[in-house]
Structure 1
Amino acid sequence: MKQLRLDQPSADVNDVFHGDVFNDDVFDDALRLNAQWIGRKPFLVGHNLAGSDLFQLPRLREAARAILAREESGFAKDAELSLPRWKPAYAETQRLSKAQKLEKMFDELEAGTLTAACKISALNEVDPAYDAVLRSAVRQFAGDAGIRLEDVTWSILTVFITAPRLPTPFHGDFEQNFLLQIQGEKEVRLYDRENRRFFPQDAIEGLCKGDPLAAPFDEAFSDMGTLFHIKPGVGVHHPLAAPHSVTNGDSVSISVAIAFCTKEIDDLSRVHQANLFLRSVGLRPPFPDLSTRRDRMKAAFFRVISGPRDSCSALSRGYARLTWPARFVRDEIRKLRAARPGGQNPSPI
């Protein structure tokens, strides 16, 4: 794949776009005007991706096929195709290969009969056109937020295709994020990222080890937070770790999520993972504060054991490596107990 520099757009970037709706800026002036809220509070922003052929079904089908090929090759980093589970015909579709399910999904989309949802992750990993969109968006976002491009450690462009009226459950993402609407409409309810009632410390720690649904939902939250209505050409900024839920409108929705992390965000995640480990052995660590020597040391330790930040999952690699011996012993004990006469299930240790 052709390498496109983040800080210097290629002279032929427009050659990989269909149509001429794309220019060097993805977002409108609302991004600059709300710069003081970037990473702190949600806000609406306009974008110019809704008219691009890149996000219409024919091109998305091509991209999904490329992602499936990358998955099957074993070289995928973040590229992943999460396909719907059809009901009530799930038993029938379960016999289909993933490639057949992909084609079935897009056939239903084109016929207007889709009843489920899918997620096409990291289109930037398989197609330079999407990579150019991502790089342009991150460059613009970083500039308005006062972030140095060399401090951006990871970014991703993901497409969500959702059937009418389907909800997305309450969850959080440990990244800066923009959800941009391409087709259809959505209601997005975002909650205060600083309010530990919505996202307590142990839930954020669970999120940082790879569980986006770590925060328990309380029905009392239903009418809280701030409700945003997005339609084609409009998106909403999700600050780091801001819990949210999404409800699709009355037609099929296509949305683009553009997300990225920085060195500081990565280090905060590493401190949360360190705190999760300390909590597992009975301690009660305070909320992360990178201004303290204690938390800088935690971040440095997990930075070493995690290795390079070369994918989304790489950020939680250190926690998995640290806890692997305990998991191995636990699993071996369970196997031994299960092998006893009667095959009794062991109690957790």
Structure 2
Amino acid sequence: MPGPRIHVDPASFDPWKIQAVTHALSDHPLLQIDALVELGRRQQERKLVRTHSAAATAGTSFADAPLLHPNARDAVTTLADIEKANAWMSLLNVQADPIYRRLIDEVLDEVRPIVDRRDPGMCYRAGWIFVSSPRTVTPFHLDHEHNFILQIRGRKRLYTWDPFDRVVVSERAQELFHDQHSRELVVWDEAWRPRARAFDLAPGLGGYMPSTTPHLVENGDGPSITMSFTYYTDATRQRELLYRGNAALRRLGLEPRPVGSSPGHDRVKHTVLAGYTSARNAIRRVLGRTIRENSQPYAPA
């Protein structure tokens, strides 16, 4: 029986450490350009495509890049001519597509036994496929999810920073991101490049990035296809709740203790916050209001 398609060393895997991985997905038929053109057609109908032109830089606002540097082509045209399109494109939340959801489940089910030993509670699964023209840049940013990022075609350099480096992303920036999904305070500074761990990715190579790992990507001289398999765990959900709690305390004029500075304090705070959140959500359900939820099996599209 073949082994997992993401190759992770069980002995050294640490859910909060950036690390290199290898994989066996480069030749998968669903990740070749013809299949991605068809997926792009379906994702565009679902409004699950994000794109910008090659004019974006490391310092471009990640949130605003599609508005600041628009790509005038639609998904199908861009993907079919990606070598000359001068564009960056992400097919978002591909778990919304039944065919690709099966792929996500197959791959994450294979690696889950390794993950669960140190980081149980895998949920909120999602997939993201990045197709980019030569020399395009993914601006500096961070994401909520744990991320296995795998290079399928072409070459690129992935710069990553320790998710606990508060010089690169401050505690206040973390609070704002977890509380409001705002990257307003996540701002690029060229002086940070020497602090990065860089991965030169080629087909068969990849990386594991823990939740809120700051990163940017610079594409090589050819077109690139990359896929990310992402998920939450019990620990990422607990950490998000702690940061949201600290953000609320700061709005009251208090100076909260940084998350992670005292595990005992964090445990007590999380117990209180979890109880409060559960009670509030019960009331919101009765009133028919929207509930912020991050424990379902798949991320909502």
> Could you tell me the TM-score, scaled by structure 2's length?
0.80
Change (3 A) 1:269 1:101: same
**Contiguous gaps of at least 5 residues in structure 1:** 1-21, 72-79, 315-349
Change beyond 3 A, Cα 1:245–1:231: same
Contact 1:170 1:213 in 2 (8 A): no
Task: Judging by fraction of residues, say which structure has more helix.
Answer: 1
Q: Aligned partners of 1:56 and 1:162: how far apart in 2?
A: 13
Residue identity (%) = 21
Select which of 170, 177, 191 maps to 1:200: 170
Gap regions ≥5 residues in structure 2: 56-65, 282-290
What residue in structure 1 maps to residue 75 of structure 2? 102
Residue matched to 2:267: 292
Partner of 1:345: none
1:83 is matched with 51
Pick the aligned partner of 1:181 from 151, 172, 197: 151
1:257 to 219, 228, 231: 228
- Greater strand content: 2
C-alpha displacement at 1:138, in angstroms? 2.1
Which whole-Å CA distance do the structure 1 matches of 2:161 and 2:120 have between them? 30
Aligned positions, number: 272
Question: 1:221 — aligned with what?
Answer: 192
Q: Is the Cα–Cα contact under 8 Å of residues 178 and 257 in structure 1 kept in the other structure?
A: yes
Residues 178-205 of structure 1 show CA distances to partners (whole Å, capped at 9, x for unaligned) of: 1100111111111122221122111111
Q: Which residue of 2 aligns with 1:45?
A: 21
Supply the distance in 2 between the matched residues of 1:216 and 1:31 (Cα, whole angstroms).
Answer: 33
Give the letter aligned to residue 276 of structure 1: A
1:57 aligned residue (33, 38, 42): 33
Higher RCO structure (Cα 8 Å, ≥6 apart): 2
What is the SS of the residue equivalent to 1:65? helix
Quickly say closer, same or farther: Cα 1:307–1:253, change in 2 above 3 A.
same
For 1:1-349, list aligned pairs within 5 A: 25-28=4-7, 30-35=8-13, 37=14, 39-71=15-47, 80-85=48-53, 101-109=74-82, 112-128=83-99, 130-147=100-117, 151-208=121-178, 209-212=180-183, 214-288=185-259, 289=263, 291-302=266-277, 304-305=280-281, 306-309=291-294, 310=296, 312=299
- The alpha-carbon deviation at position 307 of structure 1 amounts to 4.4
Q: 1:43 to 1:213 in 2, by over 3 A?
A: farther
Residues 147 and 291 (structure 1), Cα distance of their counterparts in 2 relative to 1, 3 Å cut: farther
Tell me: CA distance 1:287–1:63, structure 2 relative to 1, closer, same or farther (3 Å).
Answer: same
Query: Contact 2:90–2:129 (CA<8 Å) still a contact in 1?
Result: yes
Change (3 A) 1:83 1:95: closer
Structure 1 residues 196 and 163, CA, compared in 2 at 3 Å: closer, same or farther?
same
SS in 2 for 1:181: strand
The 4+ residue runs of structure 1 with deviation greater than 6 A are none
